[in-house]
A and B are shown apart, each in its own frame.
Chain A
């Protein structure tokens, strides 16, 4: 019944749907590596989606939309950074608040933009799509083979020690969280400019939460994030391909069950596969 090379077709779909997930995940991984979990991905993503759509609509330049979306995502992330790093508030609650705030603000500002076709869009599979893979490789190199990576990881693992060595913990965390926002904003732009060029209220439909899950699934490793995003994209697509044979809910459940299995399988043994030691913990200068 199926025509053509369905494996290749599935891979293409996995890449297309995996791209926004990958972008968001790489950003979240970077933030979490610095010790700051940001549950506000959904909020940053939808703000990015709206900003990209509006800018592309007004200027006719989808790339301008992408750039503005990244900036908007970064700005939203700075809010989380200020509250969780400078004010040392609970990161989980701050992230939840950012998700609410972002969804709310995008819903309000996006009124009247629904139902408008976008003439200048980005292609779904293009150099931009593969840029995500490039960013993943670059991050992997930075994380594990550069001084910056050591600094970033030490801030996430042992902020007191990093501080003692003269690292500005707050600055590193600010930069990492802002990068996370930039990537989430860009992911939102991909949704509203390329994946499905249109603006609709609530159009991220939970993808921000998937991103947080994939970041965990990937064990904070940028290359594993590629695998996680592709696996999720493939399973999501296959849940429709295989609908006649497998309940779609059970297929969609898979990545989350896999994550628990992966966490259990890799736990206890080698160091570095688990979460950054200081994840979720505010750092206070001078406290050891």
Chain B
């Protein structure tokens, strides 16, 4: 509370001393793992930073890109020396370094993306795609002619496994016999690897593509073979206007604006963040369905999706297009009347992962190692 009074006092003084002078500014630093020009993860975080800066007149931001894991602490320190009060670190590998810095600077505020360690002055945040991948899966199940869909995965870690499983559940909800063929490239960004993995999947007979990699490579390779695909992270429909069906888009600015506003208002302090964990989904509008903002499904594919019909337990017989829109609406409500990871769910080895009617918890989602039924291919550390 002292901070508020201080801010108020400063505002007052500033207002009296120089009418129209700038208010007390809040300075936030952003530490990125990759280059802003990656057109993927880091690009999206930087878009979020710039939107936040535009919307919040009292906000000032600084950033640093391509930070190696072992260097996060010194970079945090340099940002604090530059006057940053809040520091966002945007890679799982930054977790321990961020925690160490949080302990060393108890009066500063930290937020770490995609991790699970928190502190009284360190929150965590994540905009997650699993619901959107499920919707993509529904469409992929309807569009595959060979019954084989494909997924190019970055790393076999819980985040990607969760997205892959959500995609597979979507595919099977529409097309119970279809499979999801998977290849891993063990890198977040490597166009050549993404390309050859896609070619390998094409050679295996797959004809619809989803992926996790920070470039439009998979979309472009599929389009050259006249095959449909789903964009990832950034708007990718423009790279293949007739072949990108939909995809996932992220809006980190939603989280950044909310978090920083609460810091500015004094609701978040360096003392009360131990339980602050943003796990933002469709309902919070942190993620969006589509290959282009505002275009959930590419009109090119509307007829095909409307022609495909499926039976559902709750909605009866319905076109896949309508099913996607209904599920999207259900998940976009604050009550979340539908969630793809709702039991009964068995993994591909037959182990029960969610009993009938039970929804997986956030903790279960973020530690997911099992593979959903229909997934075909290598799956490191499968339980």
A and B touch in the complex (CB under 8 A): yes
Task: Count residues of A near B (Cβ-Cβ below 8 Å).
Answer: 35
- B191–A196 contact, CB under 8 A? yes
- A195–B203 contact, CB under 8 A? no
Chain A proximity of B375: nearest CB distance (Å): 12
The chain B residue with its CB closest to the CB of A5 is: B203
The chain A residue with its CB closest to the CB of B379 is: A244
Chain A proximity of B1: nearest CB distance (Å): 43
B224 — which chain A residues lie within 8 A by C-beta? 124
Partner of B37 from the list A13, A17, A107, A237 (CB cut-off 8 Å) is: A107
- B204–A1 contact, CB under 8 A? yes
- A244–B377 contact, CB under 8 A? yes
- B196–A236 contact, CB under 8 A? yes
- B197–A240 contact, CB under 8 A? yes
A249 — which chain B residues lie within 8 A by C-beta? 186
- B239–A237 contact, CB under 8 A? no
- A201–B38 contact, CB under 8 A? yes
B35 — which chain A residues lie within 8 A by C-beta? 107, 201-202
- B215–A117 contact, CB under 8 A? no
A248 — which chain B residues lie within 8 A by C-beta? 184, 186
Partner of B204 from the list A2, A110, A111 (CB cut-off 8 Å) is: A2
The chain B residue with its CB closest to the CB of A201 is: B37
Per DSSP, chain A at the interface is: loop
- Tell whether A205 is near chain B: CB-to-CB under 8 Å: yes
B235 — which chain A residues lie within 8 A by C-beta? 115
- B191–A2 contact, CB under 8 A? no
Question: Which residues in window 277-317 of B have CB below 8 A to A?
Answer: none
B203 — which chain A residues lie within 8 A by C-beta? 2-4, 6, 9, 241
Question: Which residues in window 31-64 of A have CB below 8 A to B?
Answer: none
A197 — which chain B residues lie within 8 A by C-beta? 220
- Tell whether B105 is near chain A: CB-to-CB under 8 Å: no
- Tell whether A266 is near chain B: CB-to-CB under 8 Å: no
Question: Which residues in window 110-135 of A have CB below 8 A to B?
Answer: 110-111, 114-115, 117, 124
- B377–A243 contact, CB under 8 A? yes
A84 — which chain B residues lie within 8 A by C-beta? none
- Tell whether B199 is near chain A: CB-to-CB under 8 Å: yes
Chain A proximity of B379: nearest CB distance (Å): 9
- Tell whether B43 is near chain A: CB-to-CB under 8 Å: yes
- Tell whether A30 is near chain B: CB-to-CB under 8 Å: no
B185 — which chain A residues lie within 8 A by C-beta? 240
A236 — which chain B residues lie within 8 A by C-beta? 192-193, 196
Chain B proximity of A110: nearest CB distance (Å): 6
| B185-210 vs A, Cβ < 8 Å mask (1 yes, 0 no) | 11001111101110110011100000
Question: Which residues in window 185-221 of A have CB below 8 A to B?
Answer: 191, 195-198, 200-203, 205, 207
B215 — which chain A residues lie within 8 A by C-beta? 196, 198, 200, 203
B38 — which chain A residues lie within 8 A by C-beta? 114, 200-202
Also in contact, A243 and B189, with CB within 8 A (given A13-B196, A237-B200): no
Bound form: Cα–Cα A203–B193 in Å:
11
- Tell whether B262 is near chain A: CB-to-CB under 8 Å: no
Question: Which residues in window 58-117 of A have CB below 8 A to B?
Answer: 107, 110-111, 114-115, 117
Also in contact, A13 and B377, with CB within 8 A (given A200-B37, A205-B189): no
A237 — which chain B residues lie within 8 A by C-beta? 196, 199-200
- Tell whether B25 is near chain A: CB-to-CB under 8 Å: no
A to B CB contacts below 8 Å, 28 in the list:
A4-B203, A6-B203, A9-B199, A13-B199, A17-B196, A107-B35, A114-B37, A114-B39, A114-B43, A115-B39, A117-B238, A196-B215, A198-B215, A198-B217, A198-B220, A201-B35, A201-B37, A202-B37, A207-B192, A236-B193, A237-B199, A237-B200, A240-B185, A240-B196, A243-B200, A243-B378, A244-B378, A248-B184
Which 4 pairs, one residue from A and one from B, show the smallest C-beta to C-beta distance? A201-B37, A240-B200, A201-B35, A240-B197
Residues of A within 8 A of B (CB): 1-4, 6, 9, 13, 17, 107, 110-111, 114-115, 117, 124, 191, 195-198, 200-203, 205, 207, 236-237, 239-241, 243-244, 248-249
- Besides A117-B216, A236-B193, 6 more A-B contacts (Cβ < 8 Å) are A3-B205, A191-B191, A200-B38, A205-B192, A237-B200, A240-B196
